[in-house]
């Protein structure tokens, strides 16, 4: 019997190193499935269906939401974005974990979804606001106004840190990576996620079976 | 500011390797404090106060229990045994974790105590009942009757596995040791146990402060 897969939610303000951490985690364990979002916005040149996004019409997207087929969704500038539930459930049955790179609003919706108890959520913080601003400035020649708006968005995201199970302060990316792996490894050892306990254990007290 | 120490409860049937695991964990991180039990039974030759046990009179023990000074206690063959609370609270304040080597009844009492939310509980299982019996027979020249009685006690202990946060199957002691370290490392990263988050984080949303 497979271990039941879990939902690993990674959130952070942009510039805190979340994408790098996600990539490193998936390189470490290729069985982890990355949750690809569905969206109603048109594909851009080079974007691949099912890899970058699932591209859907407004009607199809709305139908999926109404059927309970989205774990979370949101509207951004007139387009919808969301996390389809079916591929996550498929991965869970196969004993594979799904990684979500989403913001606090998406995380909150997934925690409140029918799969909420399978969620492990991690918030990645920069070591300081000054360092975050340095990183945001460092990677593009943007105007002060654009930077200020991104910083405002970051502060808003950071204000939700306390809703997460774990908090990582990404001062050194290698340490943060190690901590991320440690969290996932430990969560896989939780009683209700055990791959296959010896038969004599399950036989002993079926009244405690939770799944 | 120190990280708040946690209470690590290790339970298992005898013969599952719990004591070896406890020793290895404390060798790995000497800041971990082992919870020394208090008892009303007389000291045996060579036993050291505060190291093997805290030896107490019946009256002193009872007074401690009545004052809420015991995290858990039980009577065994007319003598009392228990885990004093004060040294645990002291360790917590110092940011040190306390390791408890106790049975399911003790574990249950501590989880229901005032320090319950600081508990991380791990149940260690043998790979099979046959292997457990082999280990119990292997280590002493005991009568079949004594072995049978120990096996009965072991089955009773195992029947409580589902009350624990984590379950380790000790098939290979080195793997079980690694898993134990992974669990403790991850639990230390939980949001509400974070050593000292950057000031800007705490400043942002004091309404989420849980402690």
CB contact under 8 A, B158 and A204: yes
C-beta of residue B185 within 8 angstroms of C-beta of residue A182? yes
Q: Does A87 appear as a known binding residue?
A: no
C-beta of residue A6 within 8 angstroms of C-beta of residue A188? yes
pLDDT at A203: 55
CB pairs under 8 A between A and B: 106
CB contact under 8 A, B186 and A186: yes
Write out chain A residues lying below 8 Å of B170, CB-based: none
Nearest to B162 among A158, A187, A208 (CB): A208
Write out chain B residues lying below 8 Å of A165, CB-based: 190-191
Query: What is the rounded distance in angstroms from the CA atom of residue A15 to the CA atom of residue A124?
Result: 10
CB contact under 8 A, B158 and A185: no
Instruction: Find the helix packing angle between A144-158 and A129-138, rounded to 10°.
Output: 140
Query: What is the rounded distance in angstroms from the CA atom of residue B77 to the CA atom of residue B151?
Result: 19
Query: What is the rounded distance in angstroms from the CA atom of residue B25 to the CA atom of residue B19?
Result: 10
Query: What is the rounded distance in angstroms from the CA atom of residue B74 to the CA atom of residue A161?
Result: 41
More confident residue, A192 or A126: A126
- The whole-angstrom distance between B129's CA and the closest CA on chain A is 7
The complex scores an ipTM of 0.73
C-beta of residue A57 within 8 angstroms of C-beta of residue A40? yes
Write out chain B residues lying below 8 Å of A204, CB-based: 155, 158-159, 161
* Token digits of residue A193: 């996620």
Query: What is the rounded distance in angstroms from the CA atom of residue B55 to the CA atom of residue B58?
Result: 10
* Token digits of residue A92: 């869970």
Q: B96: part of which helix (H) or strand (E)?
A: none
> 């106060």: which residue's tokens?
B49
A203 exposed, middle or buried (CB, 10 Å; 0-12, 13-18, 19+)? exposed
A182: contact with B, CB 8 A cutoff = yes
C-beta of residue B33 within 8 angstroms of C-beta of residue B86? no
**CATH architecture classification, B7-201:** 3-Layer(aba) Sandwich (3.40)
- Kindly report, residue by residue over A164-174, the tens digit of the pLDDT: 999 999 999 99
Confidence of residue B146 (pLDDT cuts 50, 70, 90): confident
Write out chain A residues lying below 8 Å of B104, CB-based: none
Report the percent of chain A where pLDDT is more than 70. Answer: 91
- Kindly report, residue by residue over A50-80, the tens digit of the pLDDT: 999 999 999 999 999 999 999 999 998 899 9
Q: Which residues pair with A49 in a beta bridge?
A: A53
Q: Provide the whole-model pTM.
A: 0.81
Q: Distance from CA of residue A197 to its chain's centroid?
A: 28
């Amino acid at each position: 019997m497979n271990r039941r897969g879990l939902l690993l939610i990674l959130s952070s303000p942009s510039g805190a190193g979340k994408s790098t951490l996600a990539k490193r985690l998936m390189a470490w364990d290729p069985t982890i499935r990355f949750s690809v979002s569905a969206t109603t916005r048109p594909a851009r040149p080079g974007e691949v269906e099912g890899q970058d996004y699932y591209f859907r019409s407004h009607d199809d997207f709305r139908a999926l939401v109404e059927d309970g087929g989205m774990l979370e969704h949101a509207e951004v500038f007139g387009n919808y974005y969301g996390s389809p539930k079916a591929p996550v459930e498929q991965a869970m049955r196969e004993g594979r974990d799904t990684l979500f790179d989403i913001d606090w609003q998406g995380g909150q919706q997934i925690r409140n979804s029918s799969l909420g108890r399978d969620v492990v959520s991690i918030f990645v913080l920069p070591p300081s606001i000054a360092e975050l601003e340095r990183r945001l400035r460092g990677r593009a020649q943007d105007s002060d106004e654009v930077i200020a708006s991104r910083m405002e968005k970051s502060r808003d995201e950071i204000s939700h840190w306390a809703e997460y199970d774990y908090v990582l302060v990404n001062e050194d990316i290698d340490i943060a990576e190690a901590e991320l792996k440690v969290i996932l490894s430990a969560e896989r050892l939780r009683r209700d996620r055990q791959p296959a306990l010896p038969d004599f254990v399950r036989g002993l007290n079926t009244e405690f079976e939770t799944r």
